[in-house]
Amino acid sequence: MSEFAYRNGVMHVEDVPLPRIAEAVGTPFYCYSRGALVRAYAAFAAALGGLDATICYSIKANGNLAVVRAFAELGAGADVVSGGELERALAAGIRPAQVVFSGVGKTRAELAQALAAGIGQFNVESEAEIETLSALAHARGTRAAVAIRINPDIDALTHDKIATGRASDKFGIPWPDARVAYRRAAALPGLAIAGIAIHIGSQMTSLVPLEAAFCRVADAVAMLRADGHGIRRIDLGGGLGIAYRFAVEGQSETVPSPADYGAVVRRVIAPLGAEIICEPGRALVGDAGVLVTQVILCKRNKARAFVVVDAAMNDLIRPALYGAYHEILPVRAPAAGAERAPVDVVGPVCESSDFFARERPLPPVAAGDVLVVASAGAYGAVNSSTYNARALVPEVMVSGNAFAVVRRRLTVTDMLALETVPDWLGERPVARRGAA
């Protein structure tokens, strides 16, 4: 979060004070630092420097076109998991040959769309998908480059809802069945075996499970090459975590750096002599974004004190969905020695799960104050919804001393324009005076 810092008591994003943006676009809004995106990408590129490696940004973490374009300008490819994400990648300037299409449930239409676009690799996750892709590619008179995603049955030691490499998870082909799957793929028309793929989870704060998964991949590569398959690419997926706790003394997190990750790749994977693909998402964008919100009111009951803000779980669902922790900071630095008191920071949505923090020690805040929900660049805006008919909030990008709205605020009028009432429901009823 080095691009987000207090200057003269006011939180800045690079060289722009956050209150200036809040005044211009209103709250709530997401704000991204281009400098933070560049810095995070450079760290990964340095960690893999000298290797035959491609960084394919995982678009599911944050699909904003300006964010993806920033990575495209740096030479990144893209990891996509839907036809919509493929369109975003191409619209942002990612070259088709640098696109990897992952995902456990690609439709025939999505596979055909990716074939027409000429993407670089399909990460197939089932024998049924192998058959379907073969038929579609053969009918087009082309060959699709495929890597089979194996499930190594390794616990990523992360949140249960974002672990993807255990035998009980829906992703990939069980690693003991890899031999059979590759034999079948090699026998089918329209397919060209390019490599092997793996991804065991997200927000991993230890390299131990990653190294175990990489070792399993290395064993599989040796076995498959002995069977005559040309494994020339190894797709390592993503999953490296970030430190969400950094402001509270005694509770800060330590996570592996890209350099630490790169050292494992060099030790386990590089000796195999294959092209390497990695697919970081959160590690590139998580710390590059914040959610900015204003306090509506403060209230207290017998049990708790509440700070009610104008952002809600529909804007940032991670705390409600995962119990995720985000630092919450006032946009104006509190006075030195300001006493902190535990409060619940909650939104206006009609759900008890609509919260950003429980019993969080914060300095005194009042109605009208602006707060920053930190490390919200990943799985924030991309997971937002219009629940309670709340408009999607704007997204802003800062570069140096300039900022631009990179997604405007969706209005209720915009939402209503997407809907129609069938004629057989009759005329719009006239509101009755005094009706509840």
Based on C-alpha coordinates, what's the Rg of the chain? 24
Instruction: Name the nearest CA neighbour of 29 among 373, 327, 375, 383.
Output: 373
Active-site residue (options: 56, 215, 298, 350):
350
Which is it for the CA torsion 174, 211, 379, 363, positive or negative?
Answer: positive
Backbone angles phi, psi at 110, to 5 degrees: -70, -40
User: Among 124, 57, 44, which residue's Cα sits nearest to residue 89?
Assistant: 57
Q: What angle separates helix 65-73 from helix 83-91, to the nearest 10 degrees?
A: 60
* Residue 411, SS3 per DSSP: coil
> Cα(407)–Cα(145) distance, rounded to whole angstroms?
34
267's CB contacts (< 8 A; 6+ apart) are none
34: Cβ contacts below 8 Å, ≥ 6 apart: 14, 70, 397, 398, 399
Q: Would you list the DSSP string of 420-432?
A: ---GGG-SPPPPP
Picking from 276, 288, 202, the residue whose alpha carbon sits closest to that of residue 235 is: 276
Q: What are phi and psi of 359, to 5 degrees?
A: 50, 45
CB 122 within 8 A of CB 196: no
Question: Mind giving me the DSSP string for 91-142?
Answer: HTT--GGGEEE--TT--HHHHHHHHHHT-SEEEE-SHHHHHHHHHHHHHHT-
Task: Quote the crossing angle between the two packed helices 127-140 and 178-187, to the nearest 10°.
Answer: 20
Whether 32 contacts 380, CB under 8 Å = no
Paired strand residues for 124: 148
Rounded to 5°, the CA angle 55-143-270 comes to: 35
Cα distances (Å, whole numbers) of residue 231 to 96, 221, 272: 21, 7, 10
Per-residue tokens: 60: 């599911």
215 is catalytic: no
Active site residues: 350
